[in-house]
Chains A and B, each alone.
Chain A
Amino acid sequence: MIQQKVISKRFGKVDPLSIDSYIKFDGYNALEKALTMHPTQIIDEIEKSKIRGRGGAGFPAHIKARALANAKQPKYIVCNADEGEPGNFKDRIIMENDPFSILEGMVILAYATGAKKGYIYIRGEYQNAIKIMKMTIQNAIDKGYLGENILNKGFDFNLEIRTGAGSYVVGEEFSMIESIEGKPGRSRVKPPYPTDKGIHDKPTLINNVETFANFPHIILMGGDNYAKIGTPSSTGTKLISLSGNVKNKGLYEVPFGTSIRDVIFKLGDGVSYNRSIKMVQLGGASGPIIPEYMLDMAIDFERFENFDSKTGTGAIIVIDERFDIFDILLINMNFFVHQSCGKCAPCREGHTQIVNLLNKIKNHRGTEQDLMSLENLANVIQQTSLCGLGQTSMTSIISSLRYFRDDYFAKVRY
């Protein structure tokens, strides 16, 4: 049994629109338990669980939580449901299948940190999820699991839905904060970090949907037990969005440490017509492209960190032998040309030039000099961009230059 269903255990079994159905299936047990604990105890359990953020960057969840708990009022909690990274659909599936678990996780964290107001920022394209989450919030308020005086414990937490308008970069935390404030989604200078100065310059904690959905399980299981799942450096399970040239595309939940090859072949049933795999892109458009011989790599934050990328979102995109590396790179790079907010120079100007260089090389018009320019420019964009977009957008270029260098040399003119 390669899958281990923790987050997804209720998927397909509960009625996502019914709070009673959720309660029948262990729902809100964690909140009831949490409310008997001291707020710092909850954060201690989160620390013991060693859970790291599921949005990609893999930041230890307890550090943010403790920073917010120590911050002055008013403070905010935000659930990042702006799942814009191509190849990812796990957050949508959680919202559509088990929406109350997200709310429960948020309320637990609100209790632990003292935040009284929260937002769920949902990607605008996710119309169905938006509808469901709105109903979920209303149902939870009606039953006393949200709003004023939650479960008669005298603690309040109000939630509001915010939706994006098609911008990719608002998935980045500061751009999201700007967007929540009603401004265009453009990042801010860090530091200060959101837990110091976030929404309206007030302390703000932003977590991914999947991270919030994990909290109830940590409370129920206890941090130590949770930490036993997965690997020592990456605990728990991971939802994997498997797509591309693979037979069984879809969402799978596996413990950390599972190999990419197992996900593709045991869960995804491999590639049609037994075509060979040319490459796999991890995490989405901003993730690395690795060759077939690296598929035994385990899904683990520590491994992914080698790529300087937020690959922890758990997308696996399989690309078979029929495709050229430049086709894939151009799809990625044209995406970033479109999605750069334009605020900082390297990202605004750099992506266009990357596309130019790639086209030149792809069409056999590039020289060795162009190859050097490409490599240099990719590094500069990654090193100097203001926010996560430019800092990670070059991962596929940089990794392809490492693992598919021959493909470049085959095209370059001498």
Chain B
Amino acid sequence: MVNLKINNIDIQAKENTTILEAARQNHIDIPTLCNYPDLSIKSECRVCVVEINGQKKLHTSCSTVVKDGMVVKTNSPKVLNSRKTIIELILANHDANCTACPKNYNCELQSLANKLGIDKNRFPTVLDIQPIDNENPVLIRNINRCIKCGRCIDMCKNVQSMGVLDVMGRSKDMKITPAYGKFLTDEFCTYCGQCSSVCPVGAIIENDDTDRVWEALNNPSLHVIVQVAPAVRVSLGEELGMEPGSIVTEKVVAALKYLGFDGVFDTDFTADLTIIEEGNELIERITNGGTLPMMTSCCPGWINFAEQKYPEILDNISSCKSPQQMFGALAKSYYPKKMKLKPDDIFVVSIMPCTAKKYEAQRDEMKIDNVHSDVDVVLTTRELGKMIRQMGINFENIEEVPFDKPFGITTGAAAIFGATGGVMEAALRTVYEVVNKEELTDINFTAVRGTEGIKEAEVEIGGQKIKVAVAHTLENAKTLSEQVKNGTSPYTFIEIMTCPGGCIGGGGQPYGTTKAVRDKRIEAIYQVDENMPIRKSHKNPDIIALYDEYLLKPLGKKSHHLLHTHYSSRKK
């Protein structure tokens, strides 16, 4: 233990703790800007500087380790003035038109300026307006708002191993951009959106599609339906001021009804459907000598990654569409038939924890027999939060409503799609029982749960032991893809999710997602699973009915037409 004094308070801290950590453990707040939990210490914004006795210069508390006998002042006049000056400097080179920014009231720079008592800036603006990168349908980069904190670079390069964004130029011309200051579309961007989730300001944000949804809702000739992804039920509450990990499944339904949707459905239903199709595909590949290992296909970031970086292994990826697109396909075929509507009159919205889903929905393959895409608009959790706020809904106290029919019944297996390892667990529950023709004694495959980067398990299926693996983040996806590419993969089935923690940590989730928050969401999603009366996809009576009445059989002709897709190399 190290003894030191911070602001005249005697403090004990563990060795190698930083001054910032020691202060926060003792309820002394030091403001930060470039610092973000779980990311590396950058010490670039210099906002967290403190005064250390006997030292002429100020030191950043995020990077300075405590020493015995240290006397630290976190709020001396010199420190407060320095912090204020630095924020004023940053503001003078920032498009500070706050009310015209989607991050208004959600902006770390704005709240910091407010906290430090900045009501006018001593420095005139030196902002040199640059064009906005809105070449892609997913992420908008407004470099005029960028404060060069480097969080997005850290996320893209170190967590996701992509390195799409990096520093260009120096001094006042320094920018964080794709190569040569061009567009994200020039790069191997997977649109995972993790950069947008850590950006403290509004420099990288998802393409806001809420206006298109309002327009559709107000169009009387359209039948507007919506699907809600598994991960959204444990995160939308957070977006609207509730505790992380609050389970708000039926509040979401109620709010969506309030917004005016004609039908509110659960993507969990098509997640169950995915398990049936994907499970059967796996069984088929194992028994008929198909390409193995089979890799999951529900994550659009991962598909973008594989198509651009590993086209050699596209055959390994399951041909199943993602649950979102399976829903879209059914919504524009089976649903209108059942409801006696014209497919083109149906407008499908999905609420996703994800930014890459926006890209997926626009793919050419994702149109079944229609002019329009199967899924017309994808909103992130954050965008739905915005609509609910616009509508003035008191979300926390709204009366809960169940999902609409058809697609009414869902299972716990589908809910856990939202966490890393969930698709694997759901698939194993079904594949095991279908092939081995016996009930699982314990349906909880805990080996594939948790936030370790790459998880492994061994399961006995049809008398043979198969190895499976689960990876999240593209860094880990890269490791497993390399093995598959080189033919050294020991696995039969691999689940891959692009975002840390899986969809609950998606790029479209509420701001402020950290490991601690992700853990709470994961806990909640397994709670949702526990609470479900049915926890295996193949036991879902509505799924059974759908096959009886429409699809006829898994991997059948209709399934292939509606629920399966193909991938193509986009190697640049």
Are A345 and B167 interface neighbours, CB within 8 A? Answer: no
CA A191 – CA B169 in complex, angstroms?
26
Are B46 and A384 interface neighbours, CB within 8 A? Answer: yes
Are B45 and A342 interface neighbours, CB within 8 A? Answer: no
CA A361 – CA B46 in complex, angstroms?
28
Q: Which of A167, A308, A350 has the most CB of B within 10 A?
A: A350
B340 within 8 A of A: no
A152-175: which residues lie under 8 A (CB-CB) from chain B?
A: 167
Q: Mark B138-173, 1 if CB is under 8 A from A, else 0.
A: 000000000110000000000000000001011111
Are B81 and A380 interface neighbours, CB within 8 A? Answer: yes
Are B174 and A345 interface neighbours, CB within 8 A? Answer: no
Give the residue name and chain of the A residue nearest to B124 (CB): A356
Give the residue name and chain of the B residue nearest to A340 (CB): B171
Contact among B122, B124, B172 with A348 in the assembled complex (CB-CB below 8 Å): B172
Are B81 and A348 interface neighbours, CB within 8 A? Answer: no
Interface residue tally for chain B (C-beta within 8 Å): 36
Chain A binding surface SS class: helix
CA A338 – CA B174 in complex, angstroms?
11
Contact among B42, B44, B65, B172 with A352 in the assembled complex (CB-CB below 8 Å): B172
Q: Which of B56-64, B195-203, B331-339, B524-532 is near enough to bind chain A?
A: B56-64
CA A383 – CA B92 in complex, angstroms?
20
Contact among A348, A350, A382, A384 with B49 in the assembled complex (CB-CB below 8 Å): A384
A337 within 8 A of B: yes
Which residues does chain A contribute within 8 Å of B89, judged by CB atoms?
A: 345-346, 349-350, 353, 377
Chain B binding surface SS class: loop
Which residues does chain B contribute within 8 Å of A386, judged by CB atoms?
A: 43-44, 46
A342-389: which residues lie under 8 A (CB-CB) from chain B?
A: 342-346, 348-353, 356, 373, 376-377, 380, 382-386
Which residues does chain A contribute within 8 Å of B85, judged by CB atoms?
A: 346, 376-377, 380
Q: Which of B60, B82, B122, B170 has the most CB of A within 10 A?
A: B170
B329 within 8 A of A: no
Give the residue name and chain of the B residue nearest to A308 (CB): B56
B454-493: which residues lie under 8 A (CB-CB) from chain A?
A: none
CA A384 – CA B60 in complex, angstroms?
8
A391 within 8 A of B: yes
Within the complex, the shortest CB–CB distance from B346 to chain A, in Å, comes to 50
A206 within 8 A of B: no
Are B43 and A341 interface neighbours, CB within 8 A? Answer: no
CA A353 – CA B85 in complex, angstroms?
11
Which residues does chain B contribute within 8 Å of A399, judged by CB atoms?
A: none
Contact among A342, A351, A376 with B148 in the assembled complex (CB-CB below 8 Å): A342
Which residues does chain A contribute within 8 Å of B566, judged by CB atoms?
A: none
Which residues does chain A contribute within 8 Å of B398, judged by CB atoms?
A: none
Are A344 and B46 interface neighbours, CB within 8 A? Answer: yes
B253 within 8 A of A: no
Are B57 and A383 interface neighbours, CB within 8 A? Answer: yes
CA A150 – CA B169 in complex, angstroms?
43
Give the residue name and chain of the A residue nearest to B166 (CB): A184
Are A189 and B43 interface neighbours, CB within 8 A? Answer: yes
Give the residue name and chain of the A residue nearest to B65 (CB): A191
Q: Which of A184, A350, A351, A384 has the most CB of B within 10 A?
A: A384
A186 within 8 A of B: yes
Which residues does chain A contribute within 8 Å of B44, judged by CB atoms?
A: 343-345, 386
Are A383 and B82 interface neighbours, CB within 8 A? Answer: yes
Are A342 and B126 interface neighbours, CB within 8 A? Answer: no
A139 within 8 A of B: no
Which residues does chain B contribute within 8 Å of A18, judged by CB atoms?
A: none
Which residues does chain A contribute within 8 Å of B170, judged by CB atoms?
A: 167, 184, 339-342
Which residues does chain A contribute within 8 Å of B45, judged by CB atoms?
A: 344-345
Are A342 and B167 interface neighbours, CB within 8 A? Answer: yes
B93 within 8 A of A: yes
A276-304: which residues lie under 8 A (CB-CB) from chain B?
A: none
Q: A356-B126, A380-B86, A384-B58 are in contact. Are A337 and B171 (CB under 8 A)?
A: yes
Q: Which of B65, B81, B85, B169 has the most CB of A within 10 A?
A: B85
Q: Mark B109-126, 1 if CB is under 8 A from A, else 0.
A: 000000000000011101
Give the residue name and chain of the A residue nearest to B34 (CB): A345
Q: Mark A321-338, 1 if CB is under 8 A from B, else 0.
A: 000000000000000011
Which residues does chain A contribute within 8 Å of B126, judged by CB atoms?
A: 349, 352-353, 356
Which residues does chain A contribute within 8 Å of B147, judged by CB atoms?
A: 345
Give the residue name and chain of the A residue nearest to B40 (CB): A189
Q: A341-B174, A352-B126, A356-B126 are in contact. Are A385 and B41 (CB under 8 A)?
A: no
B515 within 8 A of A: no
Give the residue name and chain of the B residue nearest to A169 (CB): B170
Q: Which of A349, A373, A377 has the most CB of B within 10 A?
A: A349
B90 within 8 A of A: yes
Which residues does chain A contribute within 8 Å of B169, judged by CB atoms?
A: 342
Q: Which of B82, B89, B148, B174 has the most CB of A within 10 A?
A: B89
Q: Mark B7-45, 1 if CB is under 8 A from A, else 0.
A: 000000000000000000000000000000000011111
Are B78 and A383 interface neighbours, CB within 8 A? Answer: yes
Give the residue name and chain of the B residue nearest to A382 (CB): B57
Within the complex, the shortest CB–CB distance from A412 to chain B, in Å, comes to 16
Give the residue name and chain of the B residue nearest to A360 (CB): B124
Which residues does chain B contribute within 8 Å of A346, judged by CB atoms?
A: 46, 85-86, 89
CA A386 – CA B47 in complex, angstroms?
11
Contact among A184, A342, A384 with B86 in the assembled complex (CB-CB below 8 Å): A384
CA A386 – CA B81 in complex, angstroms?
17
CA A308 – CA B122 in complex, angstroms?
26
Which residues does chain A contribute within 8 Å of B123, judged by CB atoms?
A: 353, 356, 373, 377
Are A345 and B172 interface neighbours, CB within 8 A? Answer: no
Within the complex, the shortest CB–CB distance from B87 to chain A, in Å, comes to 9
Within the complex, the shortest CB–CB distance from A353 to chain B, in Å, comes to 5
Q: A342-B148, A384-B46, A386-B43 are in contact. Are A349 and B93 (CB under 8 A)?
A: yes
Are A380 and B148 interface neighbours, CB within 8 A? Answer: no
Contact among A189, A339, A340, A377 with B60 in the assembled complex (CB-CB below 8 Å): A189
A169-206: which residues lie under 8 A (CB-CB) from chain B?
A: 184, 186, 189, 191
CA A16 – CA B294 in complex, angstroms?
67
CA A42 – CA B155 in complex, angstroms?
47
CA A66 – CA B399 in complex, angstroms?
72
CA A186 – CA B170 in complex, angstroms?
9
Give the residue name and chain of the B residue nearest to A184 (CB): B167
CA A349 – CA B122 in complex, angstroms?
13
Give the residue name and chain of the A residue nearest to B62 (CB): A189
Which residues does chain B contribute within 8 Å of A186, judged by CB atoms?
A: 167
CA A209 – CA B318 in complex, angstroms?
61
CA A104 – CA B562 in complex, angstroms?
76
Which residues does chain A contribute within 8 Å of B124, judged by CB atoms?
A: 356
Closest 9 CB pairs of A and B: A342-B174, A349-B89, A340-B171, A380-B85, A189-B43, A189-B63, A384-B46, A342-B170, A383-B58
- 9 A-B pairs in the complex with CB atoms less than 8 angstroms apart: A341-B174, A344-B44, A344-B46, A346-B85, A352-B126, A353-B92, A356-B126, A380-B85, A384-B58
Q: Show the binding face of B for A, using Cβ within 8 Å.
A: 41-47, 49, 56-58, 60, 63, 65, 78, 81-82, 85-86, 89-90, 92-93, 122-124, 126, 147-148, 167, 169-174
